[in-house]
Chains A and B, each alone.
Chain A
Amino acid sequence: MDLKLMIYLVVGATFALYIGIAIWARAGSTGEFYVAGKGVNPVANGMATAADWMSAASFISMAGLIAFLGYSGSVYLMGWTGGYVLMALLLAPYLRKFGKFTVPQFVGDRFYSNTARIVAVICLLVISITYVIGQMRGVGIAFSRFLEVDLLWGLIAGMGVVFVYAVLGGMKGITYTQIAQYVVMIFAYTVPAIFISLQLTGHFLPQTGLGGSLSGQDGMYLLNALDQTLVDLGFNEYTTNRNLSTMNIFLLTMALMIGTAGLPHVIIRFFTVPRVRDARKSAGWALVFIAILYTTAPAVGAMAMYNLIDTFHPGGVGNPEAAMVYEDRPQWMRTWEETGLLQFEQEGDGERVHYYNYKNPPAWTEEAELDGYTVANLDRDIMVLANPEIASLPNWVIALVAAGGIAAALSTAAGLLLAISSAISHDLLKGVFMPKISEKNELMAGRLAMVAAILLAGYLGLNPPGFAAEVVALAFGLAASSLFPVLMMGIFYKRMNRQGAIAGMLVGISTTLIYIFLYKGWFFFPGTAMLADNPDGWLLGIAPQGFGTVGAIFNVITAYVVSKLTAPPPKEIQDLVESVRVPRADTA
C-alpha cells in the first residue's frame, strides 16, 4: 500500500480512538475534571503519567540527540528518569495525603497565604506555558510533515484535536485517552527498534543488542565498531564523547531531575490515586513505563547512527571511491530535503556524497579526490522519524512511528493545558478572587482558560521564542528553581513559614530567568542576548540549561534565612505538617 495512504489510515484510526474515549469518559463534576475522581488504579495511573510526561522531546528528539552526542546524551536519559525517585520519595505520598486538587493549593494552605498561592500560580503558568509552546510546535511539525500541509494548517489541526479531548474530557477523559496514547507511543517506538536490533545484532531486545556483536562480522561489538567508525570520520569516540565539562554534566542532570519532580502537570498525577501507598507505587509504575522507552532510546540512537554512516559509506569509511552516489540516494533523504532539515551542497563536479567531520578532516581525506557533495545540514530531530526508513522497514512501521510522534506531543500538551486551566479556575478564581463561584461556572472558567491557553500556545508555537529544546530546558530549570524546593521544605521543614517560601520562590525563579535571558535574549527575542552563549562567556562556566540547579540552591538558602528571621508558622500549620507525614490521619 502507498506510504501516504497508510499514514492517513493509521493516524486517523488512532485519533478516532482518542476522541471516542474522551467522549465516553466525559467529566461530570469538578473533581472528575481535575483529578479523575481519585478512582484511578496505580498501574493505569502510571501508564497515563508516562504518556503525560513523555513528550515530543522524548519521542522525537532524544534518541537523535544521543546519536550525535554519544555518552554526553546520557544527561537526558538519567535526568529525565532520576527525577521520579525524588518524586516518589520526597513528594508524591505527602501531597496525596494532603488531598487537594492543585499544586498552588498545597502551597497556599501550607504557607497560610493567598500571596504564596498566587506566586505559585505565576510559577506554574510560566513553567507550563513555556513547556506547552514547544509541544504545540512539535504537534504542528508532525501534522504538517505527515499530512503534507503547511505548518500553519498542521498547527490548527493539532489545536483542534487537543481542544476536543482536553476541553470536553477533563482529567478523567485525559487519563483514559493517555493510556491509549501510551500504548500507541510505545508500540511505535519499540517495534522499529526491535526490527533494527534483529537486523544488526540478532538480539531481540534493543537493550542487549546495543551491547551485542554485529551479525556476520566475526564477533565485532556494535559499540566498538561505532567508536572506530566515528574516529575514522574525524569525530570523537561514541562511548566517551563529552561536549560539556564534568561540572556542567552534573548541573544539567541535576536540573533535569529536580525539574521533573517540580513539574506541576506531573505532580498533579499523584493526587489522582486512591491511597498514599498507591501514590508511592504509582511513581514506580510511571517509571516502569517510561523506562521501556528510555532504555530503548540509546539503542535507537546508536543503531540509527551506525546505519546512517553505512548509508553514506557503503564501501566502508576511508574508501571515498565507493561513497554514496548523490543521484542514487534513498527516497527518505529526498523527502526530508524538502523540509530543509537535511541539505546537501555541491562542491565540485563529482557525483558522490562525502560525509565526515568537516571541521576536523581525517587523514584519508587529504589524498582522495573529494569533489562531490557535502552534507550541509543534518538535523538531529529527523533521526527517530526517519529511522525506520533508514533501515528500510515496511511502510506500516513508518506509519506507526508517525502516529506515535503525534500521540507523544498531544498527550503532553493536554496534561499541561489541564494544569494551566486548574491553576486559573481553581486557584485564582475559586481560591482567591471569587470564592463563591458555583461548580458549574468554575468548570466553565477552566474550559475557557484552556481555550485561551491553546490559542496562545498555538500562536507562540508558530512564532517560537527559540528552538524547542531551549524552551523545554527553560521550563525544567524554572520548575527546579521554583516549585520543587518549596514543596519539599513545606513537608520536611516544619519551621518553614510564609515569608520564607514566598522569598525562596521569587529568588529562585527570577535568578534562573535572568541568567537564561542574559544568554538567550530577553524573552528570547533574537539579538537581545547580553552575554556570549559559550563556555568562555558563561559565568563561573555554568551553562544556562544547568542553571536551574543553582537557582534551586538560591531558593533553599533564601527561604531558610528569611524563615529564621521571621515568626514561626502558627500551631495549626505545624499540626497540618505532622498529619501530612503519616498515611492515616484519623488517629490524630
Chain B
Amino acid sequence: MNTKLQEQRSAYWKANLRILIGCLIVWFIAGYVLPIFMVDVLNLISLGGYPLGFWMAQQGSIYVFLMLIFFYAWRMNRLDRKFDVHEE
C-alpha cells in the first residue's frame, strides 16, 4: 500500500471515529442522562398527558435511537463517497 493511500485511509478512519463518537454521546444522553439520571427534573415538565422524563424513558429514547442509526448510515455513505471507498 503506498503512503498516499495510507494517509487517506487513516484520514477516513479518523473522520469515521469523530462521527461515531458524536453519535454515541447523543445515544448516552438520550438513553441514560435524560431518562435515568435526570428523570425527576424532567418530570416537572409535561408533554400532553406525559411527564417528560417518563415519556423520554418509554417513547422518546427509542425515537432518538432510530434517528441516530439512519443519520450515521447517511453520514457514512457520504464519507465513503468523499474518500472514494464506496461500493458499487
- A interface residues with partner B (beta carbon < 8 Å): 66, 71, 73-74, 77-78, 81-82, 84-86, 88-90, 93, 207-208, 210-213, 221-224, 239-240, 246, 249-250, 253-254, 257, 275-277, 280-281, 283-284, 287-288, 291, 294-295, 298, 578, 581-584, 587-588
Contact = CB atoms under 8 A, between A and B. Distances in A.
A74 B56 CA distance: 9
B39 A82 contact: no
B72 A89 contact: yes
Interface string B41-52: 001000111110
A253 B36 contact: yes
A277 B13 contact: no
A66 B58 CA distance: 10
A291 B66 contact: yes
Contacts of A253: 31-32, 36
Q: Which 8 A-B pairs have the closest CB atoms?
A: A221-B49, A74-B57, A284-B69, A280-B73, A211-B50, A298-B58, A211-B49, A211-B48
20 contacts: A71-B58, A81-B61, A81-B65, A85-B27, A85-B65, A88-B73, A89-B20, A207-B59, A211-B50, A222-B49, A224-B49, A240-B43, A280-B69, A283-B69, A288-B66, A291-B65, A582-B13, A583-B80, A583-B85, A588-B1
Contact of A77 (B24, B47, B58, B69): B58
> Which among A82, A222, A288 has the highest number of chain B CB atoms within 10 Å?
A82
Interface residues of B, number: 44
Given A89-B69, A207-B59, A277-B76, 7 more contacts: A74-B35, A77-B61, A211-B48, A223-B50, A284-B73, A291-B62, A583-B86
B72 A88 contact: yes
A147 to B, nearest CB: 34
B31 A78 contact: yes
Contacts of B9: 578, 581-582
Interface of B: 1, 5, 9, 12-13, 16, 20, 23-24, 27, 31-32, 35-37, 39-40, 43, 47-51, 54-55, 57-59, 61-63, 65-66, 68-70, 72-73, 76-77, 80, 85-87
A246 B49 contact: no
B-side binding surface: helix, strand, loop or mixed?
A: helix
A367 B7 CA distance: 81
Contacts of B39: 71
A86 B65 CA distance: 10
A93 B55 CA distance: 31
A10 B7 CA distance: 61
Contacts of A283: 69
B86 to A, nearest CB: 6
A82 B65 contact: yes
Given A88-B73, A221-B49, A287-B69, A78 B57 contact: yes
Nearest to B47: A211
B73 to A, nearest CB: 4
B48 A284 contact: no
Contacts of B48: 208, 211-212, 221
A239 B54 contact: yes
